[in-house]
Structure formats: structure tokens, C-alpha cells
Chain A
Amino acid sequence: MLNLWNVTQKDLRLLYRDPLALVLLIIMPLALIVLLSTAFSNVLTGSTRIRIAVVDLDQSQTSGAVINGMIASDSLVIDRVPAKGSAFSRAQAAALLGGGERLAVLVIPAGFGEALAGGSHPALTYYADPAQARNGHLVAQAIQAAFQAAGANNAPAVSAVNVDEQPLVRGASLPSVFEQTVPGFTFMFVFWLAGLIAFSVFAERRVYGTWHRNYISPVSPVTIVSGKLIAAYVIGCAQVLALFVLGWLVYGMQLGDAPAIALVIGCFLLVPLAFGLCVAAFIQNQQVLGQFMNLTVVLLGALGGSMVPIFLLPGWMRAIARFTPTYWVMTAAQDLMFRGANLRDVTTNLVVLVAFAFALFVVGAAKFRTAT
């Protein structure tokens, strides 16, 4: 145990004396959070097309015309969902929202066309993803524009249509753009821990020449590698804590079920650790290592919903996203922070994250043993 602490302490001290690594781990994600949040916010309020699902319970000529108007809209991508019966539940809406894949689910109720024709003002139910609710006004605007377009042909009193936003989860307040970018960029940059581990092993083997000296000491190689991984885990915890506390204090980011979030992050941190072991085992060239890590961090961030919310991605990318650990930690974190979910609701995410870590660890450890 003393030896494990000795190795861990050594690695922490080495990092502490490497200001560039600290910049990469803390300052870089922070700068990106601030800079890209602004840019990201502009993108969302600009010409980005919003994906929503539409459920037509009315099946009237009017509702069909309205949906066609939406499909023709430049600002909407419509997934037309066949109606099953005459009722629609919140659970069905939640399933269609798909953890951020769609921004909203619009339900056109039965009798809607008739009510419009009769001159009344029927309520239109619009289920929003609370995690993206800051962008909800975009949905409302786009729907109203589509109604106006449809109204030009069919002439019902479109202005009288009442768009009703209904947050799916009781009591959840709405997240800001920082509440997307702070966890997003934090989880994205946490993956640099893998690079940190791989670079540390590379430096000991090829730059400092200390690997053999460590290896031939009476301390077991498992202890030496474990000490390195624990040091990286501690650094990862400090990195996430610093960025989340900053998001909370400076940008008013909600933390929701904080202990559950801590557990999710704790499990997620195991993934870059195990991945680092794989990278260290498979890549022995410093330049290749750097380029591989840059690419990996950006790819996982982009695909997993760290850089860009999932609902903005095209369908094939959303399908791929499920194979990235960032997708599972992002959806779990957003569920816990903004959708009022509890630990039980994110059990699947936890299991997937631990499975990712376990699989990578098994491969990494086996290869690492032979490679070193």
C-alpha cells in the first residue's frame, strides 16, 4: 500500500511540475467552454434546422396541411410518427425525445382541424426536452411559421393557435447554454487523461529512462502501473470538480442530484483510464500518440454530444453516438442535472460506462503486459 501511494504521489508531483499539462487539463476546456458557448448559442439561434417529432392524432386535412407546411420549413426537420390510437402519453413523448436526439415532440390532438374550422382556439401540446429547453422558443417560432405557411393555403385562423410548452419532468428548471457546454467540454477533455497516462508511460520508457529502474525494483509492475492510474484518476476528479464548481458558481449551472452525478462521473473516469492503458500499450511513437489523442478527444466529443447537442446531429451520427462513452455520460448527466432523474433512472448509463471501462482495461492490460 505504501508503495502504491509512493508511485501515485510521484506521478502527481511530476504533473504538478509540468505547467503545460495543467493548462491542457484545466485551462483549455475552460477557454473552450467560454468561447464556444458563445459561438454555439449563436448557431442555435441562427439557421440551424431543428429536429422534432410530430404525432398526428387528428388525421384531418387541416392537420396534414400543417404538417406539410412544417416539412417545407427551412428551420425544421420533421420525423412524422404514426399515431397509435387517440391518446398520447408523456412516456411515449420521452421515448421519442430519445435523450436529446429530438428537440421536441408536437402532438396534434384529435378534433384539432374541426376546432380550427369552427373558429375556436385549440390547444396544441408541445413536449420539450428540458435539457434543450433554452432553445424551446425556436421550436415555437418554427411551428408558428409553419402554421402561417399552412394557413395561407387552408385559411384557418392560425394566429389563434396556442402553443403550449410542457416540460416533461416536474419541477425541473431550464438549463442554459453553459449547462450544455460545461459538462460537455469537461467530459470531452477528461479523455485527455488517457493521453496523460500514455505520455507518462512513454516518457518513463523513452525520455526519462526510468521505466526499467522502476520495473526491476522489488515493487510489482502491477503496483507501478496502478499507482500511475490512480494518479490520473485523482487528476481527473480534480479536473471535473474544478470545471463543475466553476460552472455552478460563475454560470449558475444546476447540479441536480449531485451525489448521483458524482457516481456517474466516478464511473466515467474509469473509461479514459482504461483507454490510456490501451493507448500506452498499442502506440509507442510520441507523434502518433499526440495525433491519435487529438483525434480521439475531438471525435468522442463531437459524436457523444459534448461539442454539439445530440439532436443537432444527423441520424447516422446519432446512431454511432451510442457507441461512445461520452454519449452515455452526457445523457446521464443531463438527465440528473436538468431532467430531474434519479440514480435508478441512469442505471443503464452506469452499466454501459463500467462495461466500456472493463472491456478497455482487459484489452489494455493484456497488451500492456506483452508490450512492456
Chain B
Amino acid sequence: MILELDSVSKRYGKVEAMKEFSLSVSEGERFAILGPNGAGKTTSISMIATLLRPDSGSIRVSGHDVQKERKRVRGLIGLGPQDVGLYPSFSAIENLKYFGHLHGLRGAELERRIGEVLEIAGLVDEAKKRVLQYSGRMRRRLNLAVGLLHRPALLLLDEPTAGVDPQSRNRIIEDLRAINQSTGMTIVYTTHYMEEVETLCDRVAIIDHGELVVCDRVANLLRSLGTAVILARVTAGSERLVDAIRGQIGARQLSASDGLLQLGVDNARDALPELLRLADCVGATVEDIQVRKPSLEQVFLSLTGRGLRD
């Protein structure tokens, strides 16, 4: 395992940011920590990156304890902080040279690595421009390039796509996939965009209020909802409808929150008319009904009873 968290807890005053948090990540994995704002994503990344000390529990990177062997761990990790971490009055090359030096890179080796990461970031032609002349998208990509420069075994990215336009987001996700495939670098990243996780990641840990809700392969989690999800907006009699559905329809998953009924089913074609019939029987009013492919948003709703963006 390249990363192991064992019963990690962290408290800020009265707020328990992480509670007995455990997970492990294998080498070469693309792993996401998914959760709503305030769930503890940045706290977890900061602790792995040696920026925060856990109150209890242990974190190991490639077998090295992040508290006892900080220097060793810091040589193994690369960090893409949530906010871009670059010197704006320096050019891309100057930023890369400075951070490369900090990681002990010098001379021809440094030049070669800079060329490589500029290529990945698509910034070869803009490399001598000062960062303050860059667009937000270019800065994000350079931010990622700096994190890759010393070829870390474990790349930690804290919401790398937050505040980025959809086109740039897709590009960043594609870049990450390419890097992982070409170098075998393990990527652990936090996000609250479940579409990104579905596109990029092998496994995901869903967290909420500092607790691990579930950790599994993305495909398994999606499969747990069946082949389709029926979302029904029920304006009256939703509780009666839920009671009626139980045992009547072969629902893999059933949850109701604020009048929104969610059913994970294997056969939507059979389940849909049955649902409408039951609603009619119990006098429930269905205002809107949709059938969707299962998503992590629905997994989160089914596990926590609320939406990821609530």
C-alpha cells in the first residue's frame, strides 16, 4: 500500500473534522475522496501532506509514518493545493526551477524535467511569460506541473478543478489520467464533483461530517443502485408511497428526502408503471418522475439521506 490511514481523528476546537478515519490506497491507483463542503476533505489531504498533525491514529506513505519521517514522506509526495501555489512575478520556468531546487533537482536533470512537465501542462510556448499574465486555466495547469516535477510516488490534489470552467476541468481530468497511465503515479484527489470521480477514479471514499461513509470501487458503488435510478418528486403522501413500495417493487435501494423519492432498480421498464400504480393506490401525488443512470450523487443520497451539494 502506498497510503494507509488508520483510525485518524482530528478536532478543531469543538468541531470533529475527522472521526476514526481509515482507508488504504494501492500503488498506481486513481483514488478520490468525495464529500460535500466541510466534510473533511482538505483536512485529510493536509494531514497526509504533513501540513497538519492528527490528534490520534496513524498515516503512512509507502510505509513511512508522516509524523515521524516527515522529510522522507515529503520527498515521496507532490501537492497540488486547492489554491494555486505559484509566484506570480516569476515565469513558469522560474517557478519550476525554484521548486525543483527545493526537491534537490539540479542542472541537466532539472532542465529535462522542466521540459517534460511543461509539455504535459501544454505550456511550452508560454514558459517564459510571467505567471501574472496567465489565465486561470494556465495557472491551474502550471500548478499541477509543479506538483509533478519531482516525480512523486503519490500526487495529492486538493480540489484541483474547483472554480474551473467545464472545458478546463475536462482537460485537467484528461491530463491526470494520462499522467497516471504513463508514469504509474498514484493520484489521490479530493473533489465534490462526482462526475469527475466517475470519469477518472478506480476507487472512491465518500466522507461526510468527518466520517467515512463508504469506500469501494466506483463501479461497485454504482452497481449497488441497480441499472437505473428512478427519481420521483412526490408532493403529497410520500411516506405512504414509501411504505407501499417496500416489498412491492424489487428496489435495490430506496430513500426519501424532502419529497424526493429515489429508487435503485434493475429494470426500470417494469418498475416505473408499478410505481405509478402504487402511488395511485395510496393517494400519493407524483409531480415529476425521471429515470437516470446510477451516479455517485445518488449513492451519496442513498447512504446519507441528503444530496452531495446540500
Interface residues of chain A, those whose CB is within 8 Å of chain B, are 2-3, 6, 10, 13-14, 17-18, 208-220
Contacts and interface: CB of A to CB of B under 8 A. Distances in A.
Contacts of A215: 51
Contacts of B79: 212-213, 216
A217 B87 contact: no
B71 to A, nearest CB: 5
B104 A213 contact: no
Contacts of B146: 213
15 contacts: A2-B101, A6-B98, A6-B101, A10-B87, A18-B89, A209-B83, A210-B85, A210-B86, A212-B49, A212-B51, A212-B81, A213-B99, A215-B51, A218-B75, A220-B71
A83 B107 CA distance: 76
A213 B71 contact: no
Nearest to A221: B70
A10 B98 contact: yes
B90 A216 contact: no
A216 B49 contact: yes
A319 B71 CA distance: 50
Contacts of B87: 10, 14, 208, 210
B50 interface: yes
A6 B98 CA distance: 7
Given A218-B71, A218-B74, A218-B75, A213 B85 contact: yes
Contacts of B83: 209
B210 to A, nearest CB: 21
Interface of B is mostly: loop
Contacts of A209: 81, 83-86
A151 B243 CA distance: 116
B246 interface: no
Contacts, number: 58
Interface in B66-83: 71, 74-75, 77, 79, 81, 83
Q: Closest 5 CB pairs between A and B? A: A217-B102, A209-B83, A209-B85, A213-B85, A17-B89
Nearest to B50: A216
B131 to A, nearest CB: 9
Contacts of A18: 89
A13 B87 CA distance: 11
B81 A213 contact: yes
A14 B90 CA distance: 8
Contacts of B88: 208
Contact of A219 (B90, B94, B102): B102
A215 B70 CA distance: 11
B85 A208 contact: yes
A216 B86 contact: no
Contacts of A217: 74, 99, 102-103
Given A3-B101, A211-B85, A213-B81, 5 more contacts: A2-B101, A210-B87, A216-B77, A218-B75, A218-B103
A217 B74 CA distance: 6
A18 B49 CA distance: 31
Nearest to B73: A216
B102 A212 contact: no
Nearest to A207: B88
B102 A218 contact: yes
A220 B102 CA distance: 10
A218 B85 contact: no
B80 to A, nearest CB: 9
A213 B98 CA distance: 11
Interface string B43-75: 000000111000000000000000000010011
A208 B95 CA distance: 12
A2 B49 CA distance: 24
Contact of B51 (A10, A216, A220): A216
A2 B81 CA distance: 26
Contact of B74 (A2, A3, A6, A216): A216
A327 B87 CA distance: 38
A301 B66 CA distance: 47
**Chain A CB within 10 Å, residue with most, of B50, B81, B86, B102:** B102
A232 B87 CA distance: 18
A139 B191 CA distance: 77
